Amino acid sequence: MAVRVVMAALALALAGCASSPHESSAAPTSLGLPHVSTALFIEPNDNPELPALIPPGVLNSPAPRAPADAAPLLEPAEMILVVDVGAEGKVRNVMVATSTRVRDLDRAALDALRQWRFAPTEHEGSAVAVRVRVRVAFEMRGR
């Protein structure tokens, strides 16, 4: 996967676009809620009808927010979501590929990802629908 990320960053740099795949994080609040980070990527078989794709640019990416009444997070939790993005950049469907096994965190991530917006992905001059994956990691900081 590291080779794909480096190749994607190189291709973006050569094309004059953003410099790397989307990664973001949200700081924990004073209530002791978990720190959240996300990373966008594409698996080789996610879009079999298209050539190797660079993940689309992310225009809006609200971070998942664990509910204040969620059980304390004792160890890091990670999940992978599969996101179908329409040709116009709107999220059409979100599926859980790998769960955190913490229902409140899974629900928070699903709700947040449904609000994400992407730059349209083009293939041969036309906008196309794509499938991407988002790794969402929840962890407590300062312990």
In a domain, 34, yes or no: yes
Write the CATH number for 27: 3.30.2420.10
Which structural domain, as residue segments, surrounds residue 48?
23-139
Q: Can you give the pLDDT at residue 141?
A: 65
What gap in Å lies between CA 91 and CA 113, rounded to an integer? 8
pLDDT digits (tens, 9 = 90+) for 82-118: 999 999 999 999 999 999 999 999 999 999 999 999 9
Q: How many domains does the chain divide into?
A: 1
Is 119 inside any structural domain? Answer: yes
Q: What is the mean pLDDT of residues 28-40?
A: 72
Query: Do residues 48 and 99 touch, judged by C-beta distance below 8 A?
Result: no
In the numeric block, the tokens 């960053």 are attached to: 9
Residue 11 lies in a domain: no
* DSSP letter assigned to residue 90: B
Q: 6 in a domain, yes or no? A: no
pTM of the model: 0.75
* Domain annotation covers residue 8: no
